[in-house]
Structures are given as C-alpha cells and as structure tokens.
A and B are shown apart, each in its own frame.
Chain A
Amino acid sequence: MASVYVIAEHRKGELGDVTLENIALAKELGEKYGLAPKAIVLASSARAFAEELADYIPEVLTIEDPSLENFLYEDYAAFLRPAVDMFGPGSIVLCPHTAFGMELMPRLSAETSLPCITDVTELELDGTRLRAKRSIYNGKIVSSVSVDASKGALVTVRTGVYQAPDKLSARGTIEGLGVSAEPVRKKTEFIGYREAPAGEVDITQASFLLSIGRGIKDEENIPRAARLAEKMHAVLSCSRPVVDKKWLGKERQVGTSGRTVKPKVYLAMGISGAFQHIAGVKGAGVFIAVNRDPKAPIFRVADYGVVEDMFKLMDALEEKIGGER
C-alpha cells in the first residue's frame, strides 16, 4: 500500500514544530486517498524524537547512524535514496519548506526518479497526478502545478499553513527502517552552528512592536521610525529587506529566518506581507497593517488595515503623541 511519509526535521536535539504541521497534512492526505501516514526520523539517536512523534502519527520509522547527528545533504541522501526505493509506487514524501527541506528535496529528486514540488500550500491526488497549489509573484497569484506521482513524489510544504494535529488516542508504533547507507565519497562537511549576534534588544519579549519594511525606502528614514517607536513605547522591528540592506540588525528581523514574535500589538508599516515574514508573527494580539498598496497580501492577515503612505501616518502619529504629553 502506498504511504505518505513525513521526514522529521530536527536541529540541536530539538524536533521542529514544522514536522507536526507536515504530519497534519500527511494525515489529511491519508484519510482522503487511503494512504498510510508515517514519519521517518533520521538521527544519530532517533529514539527521543520517535517517541515524541508517536503521539501524533500511527507509525514512526527510524534510521540511526552517527553520521546523521547534524543535517547534511550527503549523509541524509545516502540513506534516503535507497529508502525511497522501498516506499513503493505512489508514495508521497513530505518535508517542510525550510532550510532543511529546500536543501534536501530538490536534490534528492535529481538523484532519484521521483519528481518534486516545493513550497506547496495544498495538495490533491488526481489518479496518479499529484497537484499542488503554490503562492507565486509575491503572494499575489496562486498557481496549480502537477507532477506524475505514479512512482511517488517529493514535496516541501510551506510552513505555517497547517496546524499541529491533536494527539492520537493510541500512540503510534516505532520501528527501525532497515536501510543501509549507499557508500559515498563525502564532499561536504558540517562545521558548526552560529547564533546571530544577540544585539541590544529582544523583540520576542516585546508587547508592542512597530515593524518597518521595504516601504521605509532609505536608511536616513530609520531614525524617524526609531523615534516614533520610542514615543509610542514600542520596540522597533523590521522585515527582511531592511536587514538585507543592513539598516537594522538581524536581531530586529521578524520572520522565519529572523525571530518569531508574539506581541500584544503588531503595527506593520510598509511591509507587503511575504509569508516568510507573516510566519514570524505568531499570535499577535492585534495586528495593524499600513501599506500604500490596497492589494498587499498583509491585509489578508492583519486585523486592521490602513491604505496610506507610511510616512504621512508616522508624522500624524508623532504629532498626536507629542500633543498628548
């Protein structure tokens, strides 16, 4: 019987939440199309991860090897290439669309006969055709793409789309997947992790974030935003383009590659709302978005929206606060 597999993502001894999101999708597909949902843990010591996952999925398979302590494409693929051959035709392999999945799945596809679709938000099986919805053109369009999944398919799933499932009433089974690594001459080597410099602020603890994005336009406008944040008793944060330009430090970046925040108020100015950014705003009490473009995707996640030039609004806010004091 064909199955739907979730490759668990873990780093520094911790299982990623995103794996549970993938399990939710695997179970949904399982019910819809009669596929058996299974998780696969590749690790130097897989037991703890497997135990954790067995709360959510009926079957957990483990591949244990000292080389699998830290994720490195070559080491994972040495096991996964033979593993996918064992999965049987029509099986679907899921992985989060993260630094882990992006590194692994397209490459695995090139080295096996399985097609790959990345960054999907929805999946459906139409006979042997696997169809996915994907967000393209900066979130302004949704595309439908498909691959022939008769031999199986590899998929990376956008994070933050699916919710972690409820625990099972009966815990799943844990079993070793009897597969040995293909011999490879290694050409890559994991050296170590590097924490981004902590900086002087911790935006994850802020109750009020004033967040600025591409709309700030120029480095010279940063002090203006900082001044307003201070007056409003907010902490200044930002989206990726501001950090890419080095106008603010990485420690102020909200988003998947930056920090995940949970403020009581999130006031986003000049941020269009790329999913990588939105995924970093988990459970904001009130989400207010200011953007000049009425069609900006951020208005689909915000509680309140303002279509206005951010600078005009910044001036108005500053004036109002100034008057109150």
Chain B
Amino acid sequence: MEFELTTEQKDIQQAAREFAEGEFDRDKAIQLEKDHAYPRDIWKKASELGFVGIHFPEEFGGQGMGVFENVLIVEEFCRNDSGIGTALALCDFSSEIIMRHGSAEQKERYLSAVASGRMISAGAFTEPNHGSDITLMDTRAERKSDHWLINGTKTFITNGAMADFYIVLCQVEPDASPTYRGMSTIIVERNTEGVDAEEIGDKMGIRMTSTAEISFSNVEAPLENLVGEDKKGFYHVLEFFDESRIEIAATALGIAQGAFDRALEYAKEREQFGRKLSDFQVTRHKLADMATTIEAARLVTYKAAWNFDKGRIDPKLTSMAKYLAARAAVTVADEAVQIYGGYGYFTDNEVERYYRDAKISEIYEGTKEIQKNTIASQLIKKGK
C-alpha cells in the first residue's frame, strides 16, 4: 500500500495550484457570483493548459490521464475558490458518457471541443417529475426514418443555459419492462430548433454556473447522435454517476479544504479577550475536528478515484466518497463561518460563500440519502 502521490501527480497538483493562485481572485469571484456569470476567460485559459478533460484520451484532445489526476485538479481549484473551482470542474459535465460509450465521430466532434475550451457540455437527466428516481422518463424520443424526434422537459440541468450540447436521457420505449430498459442517451445541440433553456432562478450557491430548465419541443436530432447502445441509456447514465460522484466528491473536498485554510489563518490572526482565537481550546478542538474530517474524506475520495482508474466499478465506494466529502464540505464550511463569527456572515470573508457552495454537493448527482441507499443496497445484497 502506498499513500504517496507520484512525482507527476505532485507536479499536476502544483501546476493546478499555481494556475489557481495566478488566475482566481476573490473580488473577481464575488463579482461573478453577483452577476451570475461564468468565469469564461479563466475557463478558456484552463482549457488551453490541459486542465480540462485531463482524463480524456489523447486522440480526442485530452491528456490521457485518469480520474485521479482530474480529482487533484478539481480539489486544488475548489480549494482556491469554491465558486470558480466548481464552475470549471463542471464544464465537461457528462462528456464522460461520450468518452465511455460514444462513437469515434462523436468523440472527435464533442470531446475535442470540450477539452480545448470550445464547448461546454451538460447532462440532461432530471425531470420535473423524476428527480432522484430516474427509472422512468417523460421525455420521449421517437425513432423516425432519419432522425430522433424529442419532446419533453428537463430541469435542474447544470450548465443548462450555456452548454453547447446536452446528453439527453430519453424514453424511447415507454412500454419497456422495467421502464429503464427503454431509455437511450442522445446528443442534442443547443442551437437545434425546438430547444429552449431557461435559467431557473436565484440559487443558494454555485451561482457562477447555470442551472436551467430545458424544454424539447419537436426537436430533431440525427440518428447518429445516439450515444452508446440503444435502450441502454439508463445504464450509461448510472455508470457515469459512478464516475461523476468522484468528481463531485473532489469539488466538496476542495471546498472543505479551502474553508479550513481560511478559518485556520483567521484563528491564528484574530484576537479576542487578549488572546489569539487559536489559543482557545474551543477553537483548537474545532480545527482538529475539521482537519480530521477533511483527511478522512480525502482518503476515501482518492481511493475511489484510484479504484476507478484500475478499471473497477464500485458504486458503494464512490457513493461513500461523495457522501463523506459532501458532508465534510458542509460541516467544515459551517464551522469556518462559526470561527469567523459575525465577520464570517459577510460576503467579503469568503467563508459564507464556501458554506453556500458546499451544500449543493449533498444534493446534486444524487442526494446524500440516495448515496446511503446505494451503499446500503451493496451491503445488504438483495437475494433473489
């Protein structure tokens, strides 16, 4: 057993850290958040330097590395800035479905564009009536002679209003039994006629990313836009979740670490009753708990990424990583605000933003309850 990063991984971590230190800026982040604006210039630069799609194959613009290396980058980015970091981490969201199951043409057209900062992707899975439960989709795709005809509505779609294409989970055979055996994943480009994306509204955190409702009204997509096998869409998406949960865990881990860094610095500076906060046992214990929580989350997240790169799918482990890291983000950010006291409640001190950005990690990509279901069902195998 080896608990040390390789020199190359250390170099990647350091490069990501230097990039974030050089390009991310607190005041810029606060402004972007106020404006609900995506950090476009930083995203472009990050793509040019190979930070986006590091896990994509080389022939499609990626760096041919693993999910683990992606985790290191995402963690560093989110540590430096929870908002910008998350926005960058999500720019290639669900492109992995194309990477794992798509045709060479699809990879050429979409993966290369995402890796080089020309396109942003989104996964359109959730529907108004199907949130955590995606075993039935109301969005219909009918196979016509030379195209798919898609009708339906997707909601809470990350990157929704700014993505260049969506990977849409559609019901192609409503009568399939069970229903999830009648689903397919189909690529729809945003500028296709009949596609409409509406920003859902103000949200608590990750305000630099778009979260939109997307309606498909008689949208025609070429037949070759089917990703992977027909009627295997549900499985492709579930398999993707195994991978994406690790990335979300990495965002949460970075957010936790970033909140902790700030709290530690503040505790060492701030004086009350003639002593530094860090001299009070109550603060010291808080810091000890926070650091311990983060370390545990990091170990599970790294292990889940490492395991995935070994070619092993272990939903229990990825769910544990996402569950634990998200919990770490929420609790550590909460305590960070607490250590800052009244000052922590104000935007200038960033920890309140970390706190708000942390919470989503317990909700999207499967709520923590769903993660526990996954873990439990793996523990207690249903006998048949």
Is A in direct contact with B (CB under 8 Å) within the complex? yes
**B25 to A312, Cβ gap below 8 A?**
no
* Dominant secondary structure of chain A at its interface with chain B: helix
A224 to B, closest residue via Cβ: B27
A33 within 8 A of B: no
Please tell me which stretch of A76-84, A106-114, A191-199, A215-223 contacts chain B, meaning at least 4 of its Cβ atoms lie within 8 angstroms of it. Answer: A215-223
Q: How far is the CB of A212 from chain B (nearest CB, A)?
A: 13
One digit per residue, 1 when the CB lies within 8 angstroms of any chain A CB and 0 when it does not, for chain B 330-350 equals: 000000000000000000100
**B348 to A218, Cβ gap below 8 A?**
no
B265 to A, closest residue via Cβ: A292
B28 within 8 A of A: yes
Residues of A with C-beta under 8 A to B25: 217-218, 220-221
One digit per residue, 1 when the CB lies within 8 angstroms of any chain B CB and 0 when it does not, for chain A 286-318 equals: 000000001000000000000001011000000
A217 to B269, CA, bound (A): 21
**B28 to A309, Cβ gap below 8 A?**
no
**B348 to A309, Cβ gap below 8 A?**
yes
Residues of A with C-beta under 8 A to B27: 217-218, 220-221, 224, 311
Q: How far is the CB of A210 from chain B (nearest CB, A)?
A: 17
A interface residues, tally (CB under 8 Å): 9
* Dominant secondary structure of chain B at its interface with chain A: helix
A307 to B, closest residue via Cβ: B269
A218 to B26, CA, bound (A): 9
A120 to B108, CA, bound (A): 62
**A220 to B348, Cβ gap below 8 A?**
no
One digit per residue, 1 when the CB lies within 8 angstroms of any chain B CB and 0 when it does not, for chain A 21-59 equals: 000000000000000000000000000000000000000
Q: How far is the CB of B62 from chain A (nearest CB, A)?
A: 30
B22 to A, closest residue via Cβ: A218
A220 to B23, CA, bound (A): 11
Residues of B with C-beta under 8 A to A224: 27
B interface residues, tally (CB under 8 Å): 6
A217 to B28, CA, bound (A): 10
Q: How far is the CB of B237 from chain A (nearest CB, A)?
A: 39
Q: How far is the CB of B334 from chain A (nearest CB, A)?
A: 23
Q: How far is the CB of A185 from chain B (nearest CB, A)?
A: 44
Residues of B with C-beta under 8 A to A294: 269
> Which of A217, A221, A294, A311 counts the most chain B CB atoms within 10 A?
A217
One digit per residue, 1 when the CB lies within 8 angstroms of any chain A CB and 0 when it does not, for chain B 180-213 equals: 0000000000000000000000000000000000
B346 to A, closest residue via Cβ: A312
A223 to B260, CA, bound (A): 31
A294 to B276, CA, bound (A): 13
Residues of B with C-beta under 8 A to A312: 348
**A311 to B28, Cβ gap below 8 A?**
no
B348 to A, closest residue via Cβ: A312
A312 to B26, CA, bound (A): 12
Residues of B with C-beta under 8 A to A221: 25, 27
A218 to B, closest residue via Cβ: B25
One digit per residue, 1 when the CB lies within 8 angstroms of any chain A CB and 0 when it does not, for chain B 309-321 equals: 0000000000000
Residues of A with C-beta under 8 A to B269: 294
A217 to B25, CA, bound (A): 7
**Which residues in chain B, 240-299, are within 8 Å of chain A measured between CB atoms?**
269
Q: How far is the CB of B83 from chain A (nearest CB, A)?
A: 15
A224 to B25, CA, bound (A): 14
A315 to B, closest residue via Cβ: B348
A70 to B194, CA, bound (A): 76
Residues of B with C-beta under 8 A to A217: 25-27
A312 to B27, CA, bound (A): 11
One digit per residue, 1 when the CB lies within 8 angstroms of any chain A CB and 0 when it does not, for chain B 23-46 equals: 001111000000000000000000
One digit per residue, 1 when the CB lies within 8 angstroms of any chain A CB and 0 when it does not, for chain B 5-28 equals: 000000000000000000001111
A218 to B28, CA, bound (A): 9
**Which residues in chain A, 216-237, are within 8 Å of chain B measured between CB atoms?**
217-218, 220-221, 224
A311 to B349, CA, bound (A): 11
Q: How far is the CB of A307 from chain B (nearest CB, A)?
A: 8
A221 to B27, CA, bound (A): 8
A292 to B, closest residue via Cβ: B269
A309 to B262, CA, bound (A): 14
One digit per residue, 1 when the CB lies within 8 angstroms of any chain A CB and 0 when it does not, for chain B 348-373 equals: 10000000000000000000000000
Residues of B with C-beta under 8 A to A220: 25, 27-28
**Which residues in chain A, 148-191, are within 8 Å of chain B measured between CB atoms?**
none
A31 to B158, CA, bound (A): 77
> Which of A218, A309, A312 counts the most chain B CB atoms within 10 A?
A218
Q: How far is the CB of B355 from chain A (nearest CB, A)?
A: 19
Q: How far is the CB of B236 from chain A (nearest CB, A)?
A: 41
Q: How far is the CB of B303 from chain A (nearest CB, A)?
A: 36
Q: How far is the CB of B367 from chain A (nearest CB, A)?
A: 36
Residues of A with C-beta under 8 A to B26: 217, 311
Q: How far is the CB of A34 from chain B (nearest CB, A)?
A: 50
Q: How far is the CB of A248 from chain B (nearest CB, A)?
A: 17
One digit per residue, 1 when the CB lies within 8 angstroms of any chain B CB and 0 when it does not, for chain A 110-143 equals: 0000000000000000000000000000000000
Q: How far is the CB of A50 from chain B (nearest CB, A)?
A: 51
One digit per residue, 1 when the CB lies within 8 angstroms of any chain B CB and 0 when it does not, for chain A 234-274 equals: 00000000000000000000000000000000000000000
A220 to B, closest residue via Cβ: B28
Residues of A with C-beta under 8 A to B28: 218, 220
B349 to A, closest residue via Cβ: A309
Q: How far is the CB of A228 from chain B (nearest CB, A)?
A: 14
A224 to B27, CA, bound (A): 11
Contact surface of B with A, Cβ cutoff 8 Å: 25-28, 269, 348
* 6 residue pairs A–B, Cβ–Cβ below 8 Å: A217-B25, A217-B27, A220-B27, A294-B269, A311-B26, A311-B348
* 6 further interface pairs, Cβ-Cβ under 8 Å (given A311-B26, A312-B348): A217-B26, A218-B28, A220-B25, A220-B28, A294-B269, A311-B27
Closest 6 CB pairs of A and B: A218-B25, A217-B25, A220-B28, A221-B27, A312-B348, A311-B27
